[in-house]
Every structure is written in structure tokens, then in C-alpha cells.
Structure 1
């Protein structure tokens, strides 16, 4: 299997079977189930999808397992990108987080689901860069789309939707449009959506295409291992993205960059290897070392975050 790492397994306790999405953990060589007395870490068995429930869950799990003297991993996959109160023995794996606000107990969680297992055929040479996008025309994408559409240096192929997945995520025609758009283009605009991350980013990598996105105070996963800017377009603003695509295309590097995108996906983000790399990160950062289970934040901060989460969930 590509991307497998050699390391001792992590002894994991979970109170119930993992939900469908978290079941990928058991496919990794680093996973070994253990009872709570013998485990290295506790993993909450369900992914957290609702911002409003996250704060309460963090408190409940901290209190429930405080006497175990074990670290607790919580996987959070929703759009809230701001800070939570920090407990020493809680580790949060979050898809959406700001680089300027990430805390010592947090790791960026890649969105590894709903991707192609087999990459699309590589696209050969073209006079102009072929730039695609098929998806929701949302506020964080509008400027990037407009700048590319107005450039005479780009061949743009954009399908703009007014709703997420066109309002029908299981519609075969809409899904077909999405992948045909990637099939036809070398570069795919992959800016963030409502959260400070992009599901599309990983779908593009898996498909052997080059993501193009503005750095909106992001941290890309495994950034200490992956030199992302060698093979994707990840710039500080929209103008820089145009300039970089033009430069890459004229140099001819886009051919090898497509290959590298798929290589990185297979080595880090396949379900069979991703948890292995998460475990490496946890160990290298000494995040599994047990400390006294305390919160680093005061009551006012708790109240502020709770109020913000309620407002965020209502939008």
C-alpha cells in the first residue's frame, strides 16, 4: 500500500464502534484496539458535524475520562473556524481552522472522503491553461472566479451553482458535471467554502489535477512533511494565483505537477494510510503525553464561544 509508514501501533480505546466515516481508522496499520486501562489514547467514536454541539461534547468527554489520565481525540468536520476553550487532555482534529488561531492541542484534519479511487487521465499540453470550476458560487470564491474569467491568459470552463452540489448532491447529472469539468481541465479553482477548508481540494488531488486557491489564513495538512507549493497553486491573493498559473503553464511544469498531486494524495490521504500519518504527527509533537486535565480558559471565554457557536449555527 502506498504511503504506509513503519511505526508501533497506537493502542486505541473507543466506547462504541466507529461511525461510517471514522471507520477508516481501523484500516490503518497504526490502529490497535485496547481496553481503556491499556490504551494509549481514547478516540470519540463519532465525527462531530454540528457546531452547536461541539462545545458541550468537549466538556462532557473531558469530565467523563478525566480519571483515566488518557488523551482524548475528537474529530470535528464542520465549518466553524474559530477557537474553542482548550483542555490539556483533549486533542481536536479539525477540518476548518485558522493558521493564526490554531492551538497546541489541535491538528488540521484533511477531508479524505468522496474522492476518486482511480485518477483521471492526465491532460497534455495546451496553448493556454485550462482552468475549471463546477460548484457553488459563494462569497469566498467570487473574486477568484471573476479574476480568472477576465484574464485573456486563461481558458476558463466554469459551471456556477446557486446551491451546494446544486441543491441535489445525489443527482447523477450534477455529479457527472463535476467530474467532467475536472476531466477537461488541468487546473481547478479550489477556494474555501463556508469553512476555512476545501473538500474540493482533496477531490482535485485524487483526480490528478492541480488545485488553485487563495491562502485564507489556512494551514494545509502535514505541512511539515509536504512542500505544498511545489505542485499546487497556493497564493496570498487572486492576482498572484493568475500569475503563478501563467508561470507554471509556460514552464511546462504542470505535467509533472499533476502527477505529484495524485502521488501526494495516495501517500497521505487514502483512507488506508491517513491515520498512520496523523499518529506520526501526534507522536512527533508529543501530543499524547498526559498532563493534568484542566481548561486554560476562563468562564467569560466559554460564554463568548458558546454564544458565537449558537449564532454561527443559526446562519
Structure 2
């Protein structure tokens, strides 16, 4: 696939805001395609950068919408979109961060995002996955991820931040109300969010599961995100503990954080496990291609008080063979469609 992006938009100081597919191609001198394939999983055989809009199949807005807003260059983004429209080209763009920024509507623009709400019915907005390293391969756990025995009690894991304090929940919701007011008054570019204490939501869901003696709960509850670890996160023992918790489980509770999405959702699929997914009106990637209810235990937010019953009903329809088959199916789904190469190769077929 041939891609065009205007090189003068790129700002190295904001590399974290670069469109994900461009990162493997915007590299220093001497970075080879073999290295690109090894590090990012994509190569010039999949995607090539061309120098003119006329020669491309899709135009990419190089930086996130958040960047253009923050640096007061939104007109630069609008200009590119108009040029692409005149050339009959689609534009791929990124709305990043927990909340995303408020955008105009364009008929020729796809806005990839993780946060946000489906019910807002925003033209061209689609979910995209968290692109994270393959822990299973890194730790050579390909044989271990299938070592799991079906039993009557579903084994549910969770390792993460949770807080059952109603006072802390009130504080969290008050902050969100104030952020929403700033958004509505035009003082902040961030989109308004549902007023909700996510740490309290997690705590209440864990409590609901623990109250059912037919559910085998394996929970590690933290008072802080990543147990307060801020440096060398990937090599810290809390990361090993986190992934071991997933590996030792059959299902993993996946519910939104500050933004309306869950990175844990993708970490669970990487490890070949089954997300116990609480749907809070958020985006999931490739929802027009993937039947997500074939891969997860789906719990609508309005049904969250029955999460244990929904889980048990799902689990009782499985046996040893179908459980392991679903493990394999979820791992394969991540490899084929939720990695950087898999996701954008699937997107190619939609252009």
C-alpha cells in the first residue's frame, strides 16, 4: 500500500504523537527494512511512503489531532484534509490520549481512537488497539499458555488499581465534572466524559465476583497504577506478577480506566486468555470485521450487577477442548489483526 504524508508536519519533539504506522518509517539514517520488520513487524513490502498525494492510496495526518490543537496548528491539518478531498483521497488520523480532543466532522477522514463513546455517533471514528510488546514471545511462554485445565469454577484474574472508598470515588467524579465544565465552556479541547469513578467501578465488580462462591477469583488489588512504579516498569517484578496473573487465569476482568478503553483487554488477548469485558459504550477495533462476542465474555454496563452470572453461563457452555480452542483463537486474533502490521493490513482492504 502506498502512503503519503507531508514531511513538514513531523515534529521529532512530539514523537509520541506520531501516527502509529509512520513510526517504523520515520527513523534515522541506516535503519534497515530488516530492522523495521524485526522491531515493528511491518516492512516496505507492506507499506511504502510516496512523495506525492497523487501517487498514494491513502493520506496520513502525521501527528495526532491532540498535537495540532496543542501547538495551535489545526489549520495545517484542515488544509491537508481539504487537499486530500480535492484529490479524492481518504485521510487516516489519530485522536490520542485518554479523552481525545473535540473535532469537526469530515466525510473523507478516518479518526482512529481508543477513548470516546460510540453513542456520540461521530462520523469516521473507529477504534484501534493498544500496540504493545508480545510478552508471550519475549518470555518464551508459547507452550505454557495452553497449560490450563477446565473445571466447574471459572478462574478469573485481575491485577491492577482499585479503590472501594466512596469518598475517593466522589473526589474522582468531582474532578471529572470540573473537566467537563471546562470542555463545555470552551476552556479545554478535551471531549466531555462520563462522570464515573473507574477505580470504584473496578472494586465493585471484583466484589461482585468474589461474593459468588462458584467463581475462583485470583485478584491482586493495587492502590496505585502499576503499584506506584514509575521507572523501569517493564523489568520490575510487578510486571512479571501482572502477566503471571493473566497466565494463571482463564478469564481476566477488563474494564475501562481514566479513558473509555482497557489496555488490559489487549494484554489478555496476547496471553491467549478470555477478556471478561465490561462494555461502557467504548470503541473496539475492527468491529465491522471481528465478532467480538465470539472472543470475550460480554457484559453490558447496565448488566454489570450480574457479571458473575453472565460469566458462569458463558463458562458452563465450554469444556476442556473448547476452552483451549478459545485460548488459541484469541491469541491468533491478536497476532493476525491487532498487532501494528495486522491491524493496518486489515485496514488496507477497506480503502
Please classify the TM superposition score into its range, dividing by the shorter chain length.
Answer: 0.7 to 0.9
Which of 245, 266, 277 is the aligned partner of 1:181? 245
SS of the residue aligned with 2:237?
Answer: helix
Is residue 2:150 matched to residue 1:125?
yes
Deviates further, 16-25 or 242-251:
16-25
The CA distance in 2 between the partners of 1:51 and 1:257, in whole Å, is 42
Residues 62 and 30 of structure 1, relative CA distance in 2, 3 Å threshold: farther
Residues 73 and 272 of structure 1, relative CA distance in 2, 3 Å threshold: closer
2:56 corresponds in structure 1 to 39
Matches within 5 A, 1:243-282: 243-251=309-317, 252=319, 253-281=322-350
Contact 2:255 / 2:277 at 8 angstroms: preserved in 1?
A: yes
Q: Deviations over 1:213-248 (max 9, x none)?
A: 211112321122211112211121224432232123
The CA distance in 2 between the partners of 1:249 and 1:35, in whole Å, is 53
Q: Normalised by the size of structure 2, how large is the TM-score?
A: 0.69
Which of 99, 124, 127 is the aligned partner of 1:105? 124
Contact 2:2 / 2:50 at 8 angstroms: preserved in 1?
A: no
Is residue 2:238 matched to residue 1:209?
no
Is residue 2:8 matched to residue 1:12?
no
Is residue 2:177 matched to residue 1:116?
no
SS of the residue aligned with 2:331?
Answer: helix
Residues 79 and 33 of structure 1, relative CA distance in 2, 3 Å threshold: same
Unaligned 5+ residue runs, structure 2? 26-35, 37-41, 163-198
Deviates further, 125-134 or 19-28:
19-28
Displacement, 1:58?
A: 4.4
Bigger fraction of residues in helix: 2
2:200 corresponds in structure 1 to 139
Contact 2:157 / 2:253 at 8 angstroms: preserved in 1?
A: yes
1:160 corresponds in structure 2 to 221
Contact 2:208 / 2:307 at 8 angstroms: preserved in 1?
A: no
The CA distance in 2 between the partners of 1:49 and 1:164, in whole Å, is 24
Residues 46 and 17 of structure 1, relative CA distance in 2, 3 Å threshold: same
Is residue 2:118 matched to residue 1:96?
no
The CA distance in 1 between the partners of 2:214 and 2:293, in whole Å, is 21
Contact 2:156 / 2:253 at 8 angstroms: preserved in 1?
A: yes
Matches within 5 A, 1:61-76: 61-64=77-80, 66-67=82-83, 69=86, 70-76=89-95
The CA distance in 2 between the partners of 1:238 and 1:82, in whole Å, is 29
SS of the residue aligned with 2:220?
Answer: strand
Contact 1:114 / 1:203 at 8 angstroms: preserved in 2?
A: no
Which of 167, 188, 210 is the aligned partner of 1:149? 210
The CA distance in 1 between the partners of 2:218 and 2:69, in whole Å, is 38
Contact 1:51 / 1:80 at 8 angstroms: preserved in 2?
A: no
Contact 1:58 / 1:90 at 8 angstroms: preserved in 2?
A: no
The CA distance in 2 between the partners of 1:271 and 1:79, in whole Å, is 20
The CA distance in 2 between the partners of 1:225 and 1:240, in whole Å, is 28
2:287 corresponds in structure 1 to 223
Q: Deviations over 1:151-179 (max 9, x none)?
A: 11111111111222222153411101101
Is residue 2:256 matched to residue 1:192?
yes
With a CA cutoff of 8 Å and minimum separation of 6, indicate the structure with the bigger relative contact order.
1
